[in-house]
């Protein structure tokens, strides 16, 4: 059985091809102004890598904030539902999945079958999500990917407010004026994000095993801050940014299986 | 009563031209929204009850009912508006006056309210202020006087602000129900408002008239309960339709409303017998609780639930704009004046589950109501709905969640505002919740 999962995220679209429970291909592109087209192209590319065509697919499931735009999908699953599916597939003991994307952060509580039981999302603000790091990197005049390694060099933490991207930025400016070092400010940014996300997770209860997925999971600075904040080890898969698409592909496989029964 | 005071305490002076333009454009939007809501409600429901047609019409704020009240007023009747449902409408009816609830559900007027109070203030309040500013609400405009029950902070100040335009009778409400002193205090307030109503209308509230008014509301309660009971089984009415019926009670003629609701229930009973469900009986059964959801604009949550993928159906609510309106009858033992006033005082104070109350055990009545509803109405998930600035409901969530967790009842906290812009984000949340409920039902 071959299925595909499409994740139409706020910043990028991702495709995963799944064959008999194994990922055989992945592809990613910017969502841009025409996410539907971006999704089509991404899926084509993933199929090309797997040396397949659309006809080889038994079912396509879409997820992500733009899932309704997907032109060639057979079904959809909520982002939180996909997170739970992927989390438990990647780490069978996972019960709490944290997904931090470009503009949204969420936490999902799930059971052993990967069915979500409860979820929370960040409230209408991107301060707990990837965009926040981007904005702060600009303020510090460093590259986005330098932020994490930089923050690990910090000797102490200076608290800032991450209730809002705009306020966060003005807090960073205050630190700059106080002539704090770049590593310390970078760490302050991650600590503030981790603060917000950990209070979100605490609303569900911190049930191990905790899995972190989404593009921001690749940032070592954020991961270090979140681990410190939650006081617990966090599992991170090899391709955290593809977890949503993987969850969708797993959902698609489930649908095919059910329809065969 | 400084009714015509030149220097208003709160309200800004706005040029008449601006007022007229704003009213014209917001009214036009509102008419579109009402028509659109009803069209969507018709589309969503299979076999929509024919009796809904009456309620669709009476739901029009700028329609027949407005004209009817206007005509009654011209014939000498008085109109008494009220904000919270603690206002003893029996007394208004007994004095031959017309009760209307005037809380605003208009999104666009909330922005106008920002000129008077900060955006952090609950949008129901801001929207009502804005509606008054431009004279949008026919029922608020037609009110000769307003009863302002001092419940939450927003309502408390709203009365004060509206007193820039109209006589406002404030009724302080005790915060603790289970005390003999509270009941005595509240009864005094009821007696005071009785005198005020008599003075306004020039009609004396006699025992005979009061009994007749109580009997009319008792009949309305009976019809109201019958409707909610019909929502216990497989769905014969969509939640939005039932919610609309409930809300129209706030401005319709009580006797006619009761007849029409009974007729609707007759039709629904036939649907039960004929197994004519309005949506799939497998649709997740949802209860909503929290901040009032007021027609016509603030209809987005029920719309998202009942038009969602997967589709859900609202079978019960715990809202002061919904099932709390009329669920409890005034229980009179003997039809003496004294006893009737005791019964009215008790009904308005004791039956309320509003979070403005506390007691030695907290707002236990609300918890019990929710638990009873979950059980009797076979609820599969609860959406706890709070609009920004609604502090009391927001704060009680933690308590409610703990209680619902204990009985393994999924609950989702959804916060929003008087705005159309967040419908996309709300949709993500609501549909994920419904998907989760559907998955639980599947297993």
Spell out the domains of chain A, with CATH numbers in brackets: 1-91+240-261 (3.30.420.40), 93-236 (3.30.420.40)
**Residue of A78, A115, A124 lying closest to B432 (CB–CB):** A78
- Tell me the chain B residues in contact with residue A119 when contact means C-beta distances shorter than 8 Å: 412, 432-433, 436
pLDDT higher at A260 or B252: B252
CA dist B246 and B242 (Å) reads: 6
- Of all residues in chain B, the one with the smallest CA distance to A78 is B432
Asked whether residue A167 carries a pLDDT value surpassing 90, the answer given is no
Asked whether residue A113 carries a pLDDT value surpassing 50, the answer given is yes
CA dist B234 and B52 (Å) reads: 18
Contacts of A34 (CB under 8 A, 6+ apart): none
pLDDT in tens, B402-439: 999 999 999 999 999 999 989 988 999 999 999 999 98
- Tell me the chain B residues in contact with residue A115 when contact means C-beta distances shorter than 8 Å: 436, 439-440, 443
> Mean pLDDT across the stretch B293-303?
97
A128: pLDDT confidence band, cut at 50, 70 and 90? confident
> Mean pLDDT across the stretch B270-282?
97
pLDDT higher at B206 or A160: B206
A70: pLDDT confidence band, cut at 50, 70 and 90? very high
Could you give the percent of chain A with pLDDT greater than 70? 97
| Three-state SS at A133 | helix
A54 contacts chain B (CB < 8 A): no
Which single residue is written with the structure tokens 């005037």? B102
pTM of the model: 0.91
Given its phi and psi angles, is residue A233 left (phi above 0), alpha (psi -120 to 50 degrees) or beta? beta
CA dist B369 and B403 (Å) reads: 12
Residue A124's pLDDT is 60
User: Do the Cβ atoms of B436 and A65 come within 8 Å?
Assistant: no
Could you give the percent of chain B with pLDDT greater than 70? 98
Residue A122's pLDDT is 81
- Tell me the chain A residues in contact with residue B436 when contact means C-beta distances shorter than 8 Å: 78, 80-81, 115-119
> Mean pLDDT across the stretch B229-233?
98
- Tell me the chain B residues in contact with residue A80 when contact means C-beta distances shorter than 8 Å: 432, 436
Residue A78's pLDDT is 95
What are φ and ψ of residue B85, in 5° steps?
Answer: -80, 20
- Tell me the chain B residues in contact with residue A77 when contact means C-beta distances shorter than 8 Å: 435
Cβ distance A244 to A15 under 8 Å? no
Q: Is the dihedral of CA B258, B263, B264, B265 positive or negative?
A: positive
CA dist B194 and B205 (Å) reads: 8
CB pairs under 8 A between A and B: 37
ipTM: 0.84
> Mean pLDDT across the stretch B25-35?
97
> Mean pLDDT across the stretch B56-62?
97
Chain centroid to CA B232: 21
B442: pLDDT confidence band, cut at 50, 70 and 90? low
**Residue of B412, B424, B432 lying closest to A81 (CB–CB):** B432
Nearest-CA neighbor of A248 among A25, A84, A111? A84
Instruction: Please give the mean pLDDT across all residues of chain B.
Output: 95
- Of all residues in chain A, the one with the smallest CA distance to B421 is A124
Asked whether residue B15 carries a pLDDT value surpassing 50, the answer given is yes
> Mean pLDDT across the stretch B165-189?
94
Token representation of residue A78: 């909520």
């Amino acid at each position: 059985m071959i299925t595909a999962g499409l994740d139409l995220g706020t910043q990028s679209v991702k495709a995963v091809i799944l064959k008999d429970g194994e990922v055989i291909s992945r592809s990613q592109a910017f969502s841009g102004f025409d996410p539907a087209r971006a999704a089509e192209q991404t899926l084509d590319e993933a199929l090309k890598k797997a040396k397949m065509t659309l006809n080889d697919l038994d079912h396509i499931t879409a997820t992500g904030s733009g899932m309704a735009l997907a032109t060639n999908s057979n079904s959809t699953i909520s982002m939180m539902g996909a997170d739970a599916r992927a989390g438990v597939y990647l780490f069978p003991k996972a019960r709490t999945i944290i997904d931090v994307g470009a503009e949204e952060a969420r936490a999902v509580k799930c059971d052993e079958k990967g069915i979500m039981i409860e979820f929370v999302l960040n409230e209408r603000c991107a301060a707990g999500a990837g965009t926040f790091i981007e904005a702060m990197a600009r303020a510090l005049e460093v590259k986005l990917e330098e932020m994490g390694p930089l923050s690990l060099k910090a000797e102490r933490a200076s608290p800032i407010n991450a209730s809002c991207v705009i306020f966060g930025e003005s807090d960073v400016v205050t630190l700059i004026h106080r002539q704090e070092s770049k590593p310390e400010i970078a760490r302050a940014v991650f600590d503030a994000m981790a603060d917000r996300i950990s209070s979100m997770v605490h609303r569900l209860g911190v049930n191990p095993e905790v899995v972190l997925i989404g593009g921001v999971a690749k940032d070592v600075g954020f991961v270090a801050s979140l681990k410190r904040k939650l006081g617990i080890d966090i599992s991170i898969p090899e391709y955290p940014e593809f977890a949503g698409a993987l969850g969708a592909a797993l959902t698609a496989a489930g649908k095919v299986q059910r329809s065969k029964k | 009563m400084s009714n015509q005071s030149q220097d208003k305490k709160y309200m800004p002076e706005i040029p008449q031209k601006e007022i007229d333009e704003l009213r014209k454009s917001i009214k036009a939007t509102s008419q579109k929204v009402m028509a659109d809501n009803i069209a969507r409600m018709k589309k969503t429901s299979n076999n929509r009850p024919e009796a809904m047609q009456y309620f669709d019409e009476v739901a029009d704020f700028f329609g027949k009912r407005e004209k009817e009240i206007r005509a009654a007023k011209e014939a000498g009747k008085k109109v008494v508006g009220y904000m919270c449902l603690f206002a003893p409408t029996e007394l208004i009816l007994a004095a031959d006056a017309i009760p209307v609830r005037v809380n605003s559900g208009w999104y666009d007027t909330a922005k106008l309210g920002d000129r008077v109070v900060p955006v952090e203030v609950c949008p129901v309040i801001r929207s009502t202020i804005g509606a008054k500013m431009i004279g949008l609400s026919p029922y608020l405009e037609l009110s000769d006087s307003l009863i302002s029950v001092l419940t939450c902070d927003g309502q408390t100040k709203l009365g004060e602000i509206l007193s820039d335009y109209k006589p406002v009778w404030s009724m302080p409400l005790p915060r603790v129900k289970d005390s003999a002193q509270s009941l005595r205090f509240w009864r005094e307030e009821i007696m005071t408002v009785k005198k005020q109503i008599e003075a306004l209308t020039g009609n004396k509230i006699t025992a005979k008239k009061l009994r007749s008014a109580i009997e009319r509301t008792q009949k309305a309660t009976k019809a109201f309960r019958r409707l909610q009971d019909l929502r216990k089984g497989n769905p014969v009415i969509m939640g939005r339709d039932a919610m609309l019926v409930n809300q129209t009670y706030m401005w319709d003629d009580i006797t006619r409303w009761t007849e029409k609701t009974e007729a609707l229930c007759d039709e629904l009973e036939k649907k039960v017998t004929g197994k004519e469900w309005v949506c799939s009986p497998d649709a997740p059964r949802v209860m909503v609780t929290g901040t009032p959801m007021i027609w016509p604009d603030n209809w987005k949550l029920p719309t998202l639930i009942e038009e969602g993928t997967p589709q859900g159906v609202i079978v019960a609510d715990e809202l002061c704009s919904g099932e709390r309106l009329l669920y409890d009858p005034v229980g009179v033992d003997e039809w003496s004046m004294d006893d009737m006033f005791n019964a009215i005082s008790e009904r308005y104070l004791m039956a309320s589950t509003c979070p403005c109350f506390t007691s030695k055990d907290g707002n236990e009545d609300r918890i019990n109501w929710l638990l009873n509803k979950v059980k009797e109405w076979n609820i599969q998930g609860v959406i706890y709905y709070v609009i920004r600035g609604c502090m009391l409901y927001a704060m009680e969530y933690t308590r409610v969640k703990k209680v619902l967790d204990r009985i393994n009842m999924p609950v989702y906290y959804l916060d929003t505002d008087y705005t159309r812009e967040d419908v996309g984000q709300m949709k993500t949340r609501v549909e994920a919740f419904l998907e989760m409920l559907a998955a639980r039902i599947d297993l």
